[in-house]
Structure 1
Amino acid sequence: MDTVRAAFRDECVRLEGVLRGLDAADLDRPTPCPPWSVRDLLAHVRTGAGRLVGMLAAPAPERAEVDAAGYFGAAKFAPDVDRDRIDGARREAREVPGVPEVADGFARAWRAADAAVAAEPPGRLVRTRHGDAMALTEFLRTRVVEVAVHGLDLADALDRRPWLTPTAAAVVADLLANGATPDGLGWDALTLVRKATGRVPLTDAERAVLDRTGFRWLSFGG
């Protein structure tokens, strides 16, 4: 939990700093996640970062049934679920007028989630909006993935170098590679995350190496 929570905090602090330096025109830029603009994608990230507040206010399930990799299963993100996710972010984005409100809203969301996590005992279980029962640490790992990977999308949309933090990169890479960096590729953690999440295309040779190593191909939603 300490490692995952540190990664969540580091990546959120970094993104919050980026948001406070945006201007109004930046919010309307297109992103690599169509049909979302920067404003829409940030609404999605804000909701995802703060989701644990409500989850931790609900009763805990009796046992964990899904880990972080299982949470990103393809079946969970059927077309109707994906459509609701896309439309929901766009509706929420229209309610936030400008850059200060976007930055403040994200700051409140992730800081409230971090405080809620800090108040829980070790081993706390949660139930996701999809109905999965998970260990709190495993769900927080998915939040690191969401903030970190969409941070790459935002960096591309804003024409900036990726700001992925070392702690978040390590957590995401560990999840994707199941604890072992694939041999023979020469990738750093940033390259691993970008390649494995489709942000940069894989060559046939790279895909063959990953398939031999039991690499985890995740499906992404909110």
Structure 2
Amino acid sequence: MTTLADRTITALRTNHDELTAFVRGLDAADLTRPSGCSEWTVAQVLSHLGSGAEIGLATLRAAQAGQDAPGQDFNHPVWDRWNAKEPKQQAEDFLTADAEIVSAYESLDADAREQLQIKLGFLPMPGSVALVAGMRLNEAALHAWDVRVAFDPAATVARDAAGVLTDLYAGPLDFMIGFIGRSDALDPRVATTLRVETTDPEHVLGLTLGETVGFSDAPDPADVTLSLPTEAWSRLLGGRLAPEHTPPSVTVTGDGVTLDDLRRVFPGI
């Protein structure tokens, strides 16, 4: 049986392989282009992914040894070291670091994928492999888009990654929606539950906007329906669905909430 952890790890591998092939084709000038991530160049996005991979690998190894995750005294020197690299070195070292963390997740057997608990300093309880690998996939898939969109305004998030992320957002990563969603972007006194219908692959879910932002059962009938490709849904939640990067198939029907409203609720971090 294929579990959510299995699917997440498979999507991490696909994302790594595709981004690796893309990055290997970039020259020095390409690496200094502005990326889709505000105020970062392509190389700086890769550096961020590389340092995150190094920290994530240390966190996974600590969990396997029954230890707490490394703290800020470990993380800050890692960030400083990566930030000091030249763009070409940031890109090359990203390829190595990302391969290492993906391989480490792939090496987990079935029992570890379901039972291993990983301690993270910013969560009150240890997280499952699906949760922690899912957080890595969320970051890796969106930042892969940040790299690609520097060269193609119509770039998309990979289909398999977007599909898995949609299941993760409504599952172990549901806490992230409350964290990244700006409940104060709309009138919190007026709660609205949208029906969200995504395609390729298909999902149907409810998104409640009010004093908090979170998932719920999909209303039927619904006052407002958001219809869009699954990859665009993952970009909307990640603050990456600006008008110039919105496919024409994205629609909002009904009264009370517009696509611009949703962009304000999910501005990205």
The two structures share one fold, judged by TM-score above 0.5: yes
Deviation readout 1:142-163 (Å, 9 max, x if unpaired): 1110011112222222335425
Who wins on radius of gyration, i.e. which is larger? 2
Kindly report the root-mean-square deviation, in angstroms, between the aligned alpha carbons of the 2 structures: 3.5
Matches within 5 A, 1:41-52: 41-52=45-56
- Residue 95 of structure 1 corresponds to 85
- Residue 137 of structure 2 corresponds to 144
Partner amino acid for 1:127?
K
CA contact 1:19–1:102 (8 Å) conserved in 2: no
Provide the C-alpha distance between the structure 2 equivalents of 1:168 and 1:8, rounded to a whole number of angstroms: 8
- Residue 103 of structure 2 corresponds to 115
Which shows bigger deviation, 52-61 or 167-176? Answer: 52-61
- Residue 117 of structure 2 corresponds to 125
Residue in structure 2 matching 1:158, options 144, 151, 156: 151
CA contact 1:169–1:190 (8 Å) conserved in 2: yes
Residues 1:134 and 1:124: Cα distance change in structure 2 (over 3 Å): same
Aligned length: 192
- Residue 240 of structure 2 corresponds to 199
Residue 24 in 1 paired to residue 28 in 2? yes
Deviation readout 1:41-100 (Å, 9 max, x if unpaired): 1100122234332012214698xxxxxxxxxxxxxxxxxx9xx98x975862431452xx
Residues 1:22 and 1:162: Cα distance change in structure 2 (over 3 Å): same
Provide the C-alpha distance between the structure 1 equivalents of 2:87 and 2:142, rounded to a whole number of angstroms: 25
Provide the C-alpha distance between the structure 1 equivalents of 2:100 and 2:268, rounded to a whole number of angstroms: 27
| Runs of 5+ consecutive residues of structure 2 not aligned to the other structure | 67-71, 172-202, 207-217, 219-224, 244-251
Residue 40 in 1 paired to residue 44 in 2? yes
1:185 Cα deviation after fit: 2.5
Partner amino acid for 2:93?
G
Provide the C-alpha distance between the structure 2 equivalents of 1:6 and 1:48, rounded to a whole number of angstroms: 19
CA contact 2:55–2:78 (8 Å) conserved in 1: no
Provide the C-alpha distance between the structure 2 equivalents of 1:175 and 1:59, rounded to a whole number of angstroms: 21
1:174 Cα deviation after fit: 2.4
Residues 1:94 and 1:138: Cα distance change in structure 2 (over 3 Å): same
1:189 Cα deviation after fit: 1.0
1:192 Cα deviation after fit: 0.9
Deviation readout 1:173-207 (Å, 9 max, x if unpaired): 22345574457332111221222222124873347
Provide the C-alpha distance between the structure 1 equivalents of 2:120 and 2:143, rounded to a whole number of angstroms: 20
Task: Provide the TM-score with structure 2 as the length reference.
Answer: 0.59
Residue 135 in 1 paired to residue 128 in 2? yes
Partner amino acid for 1:196?
L
Higher helix share: 1
Provide the C-alpha distance between the structure 2 equivalents of 1:34 and 1:181, rounded to a whole number of angstroms: 30
| Runs of 5+ consecutive residues of structure 1 not aligned to the other structure | 63-80, 211-215
* Greater RCO structure (CA 8 Å; 6+ sep): 1
Higher strand share: 2
Provide the C-alpha distance between the structure 1 equivalents of 2:79 and 2:56, rounded to a whole number of angstroms: 17
Partner amino acid for 1:141?
G
Match of 2:127, SS state, is strand
Match of 1:108, SS state, is helix
CA contact 1:125–1:136 (8 Å) conserved in 2: yes
